[in-house]
Amino acid sequence: MTRGFAAILIAGGGLAVIPLAGLPPFYESFLYLVFHWIVLATSWNIFSGYSGYFSFGHGAFFGAGMYTTAYLASRFEVPFLSTLPVAAGVAMLLGGTLGAIVFRVREIRGELFALVTLAFTFVVGTIVLNTPIDGGPGIYLSAVPVPAIGPTGASSFYYMGLVLALGTVLVALVVFHSRLGAGLFAVHDDEDVAEVLGVPTYRYKIAAFSLSCGLAGVAGGIQALFLSYVTAGETFSIIVPLTVVLMCVLGGTRHWAGPVVGAAAITSLLYAFTAGNHPVAGKAVFGAVLIVVILFMPEGLLGRLPKRRMVGAYELGTPTNGAIATGSALPVGHPSPTRELLLDVRGLRKAFRGVQALDGVDIEIRRGEILGLLGPNGSGKSTFINLVSGHFRPDAGKIRFDGRNLAVLEAHAVARSGIARTYQIPRPFAHLTVRENVATAAMFGSANLARAAAVRDAHHWLEFTDLASFANALPDDLNLHQRKFLELARALSSRPRLLLLDEVLSGLTPTEIDGAVDLIRAIRDQGTTIVFVEHVMRAVMALTDRIVVLNHGQVIADGNAAEIMESAEVVSAYLGYSGTYA
Amino acid sequence: MALPSASLLAQSILSGLFIGALYGLLGLGLSLSWGLLRQINLAHFALAFLGAYLCYQLSSVGGMDPLATMLVIVPGFFGIGVALQWVFSRFRISPFNSLLVTFGLTVIIESVIQSLWTADFRRLNSSYGDITFRIGALYVPLPELLTLVLSLVMSLAIWATLRHTDLGRAMRAAAQDGGIATAFGVNQKGLALLLSGVCAALAGVAGVCIALSYTLAPAQIYAWIGVVFAAVMLGGLGRALGPLIAGIVIGVSESITMAITAPSWAPLVSFSLLIVVLLVRPGKV
């Protein structure tokens, strides 16, 4: 981060003296355009590039800023510079409101989000065109005085563009290294998992989207004066967002400086052809560059850089020894089960389109125990985990965890309160390294660590699960066994008081199962309460203090292993024999 | 905001029907490639305009009948579609990247059109353009009627193929799970090439319809994107009849809006409709 900060300052200092060299205004205007596109591309990337929610509505927010400035400056003679904060505010408000509505709907992701934001652009454009804001003919700003920042008009635009571009890139850098950035990158790879790990996804998305829109609004305000004539048709089009997306993809959306590189390259390219009187050929080259980049470099020019992102932070810390030996990182609790209730589930019900997955389930989990949750396929075990971890809301019933009712909390708040889960089919963040995967959980879970501490802590959990040598690998490079352990490391690093393990052993070899059983016992010995959903009976027998059996969404048995095995109801649920043993 | 007369309103609804049929025809290829090939083919619009310009060139300079140009355009575009799919599968392009790649292609086609036919407006003067039927108080121009008929025929033919033939069933199976379909003997790659060819050919047909009824300019390529996407989303991805039905709903509601208020308000209807449908029933698209 320090290096990025220094690079931005040096670039800014160098660029600030250029107008003093007395170049023709042509160069300043050209560089202004480069800055303009850097601002638009970088601001877009802060939300869309980091989080993967590709917005095609950047034209709407850019246009909102443009029209705010044009309207205020031309109709009410508000001084130009005073209109810029208003332009930012209007664009921000518009983006925040749209986000607050759209992000409520879980399904609107990917292409659907792109379409909603594109449609929003046309709606805003139509309203502007048909109301007195524009009214049809466009707005002229030729009478609006250009603030005398530099010695000439062109240099004034140059300085405004430069300051805004530096500011925007700084914001992108800060967000990139902040909690917000870490959360957005987690959302990019798997939003549901991010939320369950404790990332407040809804709030983060609105915050980043508003920020992104506000910066685009300021760029629009300056561009309005630069063009001195704005029309709805040119502003609220699909061309602005597509150009911006192209710039970011070319440079690399996963790096803060990617859009800077992309915007500078494409603006220069287009300008070279326009200046050389070949604008049509320039367009064709622009198209060809886009195709070649996507085909051969889908991650962009800077696509390879971010994988080393967290290494610097890690090197600051001292490596810790294996956790099984030290055991200091987990909250110290009672090594043996007590009678004290940790989780108290009462009358839990959940239906999916008429299928009653859970039908009035009561389960008590005591502090320090390992509870085995068994049942045939479709009996409601995974639904139980999904409800307790907050992924779904129950239709009825209470989930009291340490006295708090989890049933009313969002999933990220559940994670914060001290619950972590693993997924039966591992769901790592595919674009984050193994270490970053674990560190993300440590930052957002109940451990709630700062970024540098989380990275150090991640190392500890990677040693605990024997993954330390894969810290810089991507999850795709791991085998199933290692991916299952990555799930475990990620859940553990949030330092949960209750750990929900969803078939963590399925698909492992007998030797791997033995290793995993030892690991789970070590986790419990450090004081974590565990709910263990499993079909591998050997492990269930070896590990659990108590077993609850579900069938058709109801509890049919509750007791120790021996009692469960003798229960006629359990036998019939598994073997389908409904008679009695005579 | 005075209410228009009954005959004006009826004429508006009719013209909405006609434009809706064109939205549907343009949306058909887009919806099939999106739903069944997982490609968001932005170049579909550019291809349609390329088809329109070819139709213009062949009939106004080459002297062909505008409808007969389809004999040249459809096979040629089929080949383009096959080539496109070959590249897409060769590079394993994700749905989102397909959008970007085809945007690049759009820009290239736009520059080709602009350098061959300039940025000036072009208008096909065909014998069809002058013919207008009169039914009661309503005027029915022949080019628009042809568009409606072509759109209906294409949508129904593809609907029937997808629903009732082994080929169609294989295509739907391959779209749902390519790997499993291949394991059951479906030639997924071949089907994808065929389907992509058909989609491009549909763009060519839509292009001929555009040439018959509209004035052409390269920048017009972008004018249709928003509203046709709205029709595709509302109609449901990969459904043959969806774009036509949704296109007509959008076209008619736009025309009524134009008749009641001003023409420039029309986009508000389709896009608000799209946003509301996405927000209320996101699982349905």
Interface check B87 vs A, CB under 8 A = yes
* Helical segments of A131-238, H only: 153-177, 179-189, 191-196, 201-227, 232-235
pLDDT in tens, B20-29: 999 999 999 9
Give the separation between CA A451 and CA A445, rounded to whole angstroms: 12
Tell which of A103, A124, A126, A277 to mutate to test the B interface (max B CBs under 10 Å): A126
Interface check A575 vs B, CB under 8 A = no
How many other C-beta atoms can be found within 10 angstroms of the C-beta atom of residue A150? 18
Is residue A487 a contact partner of residue A422, using CB atoms and an 8 Å limit?
Answer: yes
Interface check B57 vs A, CB under 8 A = no
C-beta atoms of A105 and B278 within 8 A:
yes
Render B90-122 in DSSP notation, one character per residue: HTT--HHHHHHHHHHHHHHHHHHHHHHH-SS-B
Render A319-340 in DSSP notation, one character per residue: PP--HHHH--SSPP--SS--S-
C-beta atoms of B100 and A246 within 8 A:
yes
Whether B80 is covered by a domain: the verdict is yes
Interface check B223 vs A, CB under 8 A = no
How far is C-alpha B14 from the geometric centre of its chain's CA atoms?
19
Predicted pLDDT at A336: 53
Predicted pLDDT at A577: 59
Q: Is the pTM of this model over 0.95?
A: no
> Which residues, given as ranges, of chain A have pLDDT below 50?
307-335, 581-582
C-beta atoms of A294 and B111 within 8 A:
no
Give the separation between CA B212 and CA B25, rounded to whole angstroms: 14
Interface check B108 vs A, CB under 8 A = yes
pLDDT in tens, B181-214: 888 888 888 889 999 999 999 999 999 999 988 8
Is residue B243 a contact partner of residue B24, using CB atoms and an 8 Å limit?
Answer: yes
Whether B195 is covered by a domain: the verdict is yes
Interface of B with A in 261-280 (CB under 8 A): 262, 264-268, 271-272, 274-275, 278-279
Write out the two tokens for B99. 């959008």
* Half-sphere exposure at residue B212, Cβ-oriented, CA atoms within 13 angstroms: 29
Helix (H) or strand (E) holding B145: helix B142-164
- The alpha carbon of residue A199 is apart from the nearest alpha carbon of chain B, in Å, by 23
Burial class (CB in 10 A: 0-12, 13-18, 19+), B280: exposed
For residue B205, the enclosing domain spans 6-284
> What does the buried/exposed string (b/e) look like for B240-259 if buried means 16 or more CB atoms within 10 Å of the residue's CB?
bbbbbbbbbbbbbbbbbbbb
Give the separation between CA A435 and CA A182, rounded to whole angstroms: 13
Name the closest residue on chain B to residue A248, using Cα atoms.
B100
As a three-state string, the secondary structure of chain B is CCCCCHHHHHHHHHHHHHHHHHHHHHHHHHHHHHHHHCCCCCHHHHHHHHHHHHHHHHHHHCCCCCCCCHHHHHHHHHHHHHHHHHHHHHCCCCHHHHHHHHHHHHHHHHHHHHHHHCCCCECCCCCCCCCEEEECCEEEEHHHHHHHHHHHHHHHHHHHHHHHCHHHHHHHHHHHCHHHHHHCCCCHHHHHHHHHHHHHHHHHHHHHHHHHHCCECCCHHHHCHHHHHHHHHHHCCCCCCHHHHHHHHHHHHHHHHHHHCCHHHHHHHHHHHHHHHHHHCHHHC
Give the separation between CA A343 and CA A369, rounded to whole angstroms: 11
Whether B242 is covered by a domain: the verdict is yes
Whether B201 is covered by a domain: the verdict is yes
Predicted pLDDT at B205: 94
- What type of residue is A267? T
Interface check A239 vs B, CB under 8 A = yes
Is residue A523 a contact partner of residue A472, using CB atoms and an 8 Å limit?
Answer: no
Predicted pLDDT at A506: 81
Share of chain B above pLDDT 90, in %: 35
- The alpha carbon of residue A260 is apart from the nearest alpha carbon of chain B, in Å, by 19
Whether B100 is covered by a domain: the verdict is yes
As for how many domains chain B has, the answer is 1
Query: Of A288, A54, A294, nearest to A188 (Cα)?
Result: A54
Domains recognised in chain A with CATH numbers: 2-237 (no CATH), 354-575 (3.40.50.300)
Read off the DSSP letter of residue A257: T
C-beta atoms of A280 and B93 within 8 A:
no
Give the separation between CA A64 and CA A55, rounded to whole angstroms: 15
Instruction: For residue B13, give every residue at least 6 positions away whose Cβ sits within 8 Å of its Cβ, in sequence order, or none.
Output: B252, B255, B256
Give the separation between CA A318 and CA A327, rounded to whole angstroms: 16
Predicted pLDDT at A311: 41
Among B87, B95, B111, whose Cβ lies nearest the Cβ of A281? B111
Among B103, B105, B271, whose Cβ lies nearest the Cβ of A119? B271
Give the separation between CA A469 and CA A485, rounded to whole angstroms: 13
Interface check B105 vs A, CB under 8 A = yes
Residue the block writes with tokens 């090594």: A335
- Give the residues across from A576 on adjacent strands: none
Residue A507 Rama label (left phi>0; alpha psi -120 to 50; beta): left
Whether B1 is covered by a domain: the verdict is no
Name the closest residue on chain B to residue A117, using Cα atoms.
B275
Predicted pLDDT at B215: 87
What beta strand segments (E) does A247-384 contain?
341-352, 355-366, 370-374
Give the separation between CA B9 and CA B2, rounded to whole angstroms: 12
In this structure, the strands spanning A498-502 and A529-533 are parallel
Predicted pLDDT at A326: 38
C-beta atoms of A289 and B275 within 8 A:
no
Query: Of A384, A382, A402, A403, nearest to A394 (Cα)?
Result: A384
Give the separation between CA B127 and CA B143, rounded to whole angstroms: 10
Among A112, A249, A284, whose Cβ lies nearest the Cβ of B107? A284
Q: Point out the least confidently predicted range of A11-25, B73-87, B228-242.
A: A11-25
Whether B46 is covered by a domain: the verdict is yes
ipTM over 0.85: no
Residue A352 Rama label (left phi>0; alpha psi -120 to 50; beta): beta
Give the separation between CA B250 and CA B271, rounded to whole angstroms: 9
| Domain CATH number, residue B278 | 1.10.3470
- Give the residues across from A555 on adjacent strands: A550
Interface check A247 vs B, CB under 8 A = no
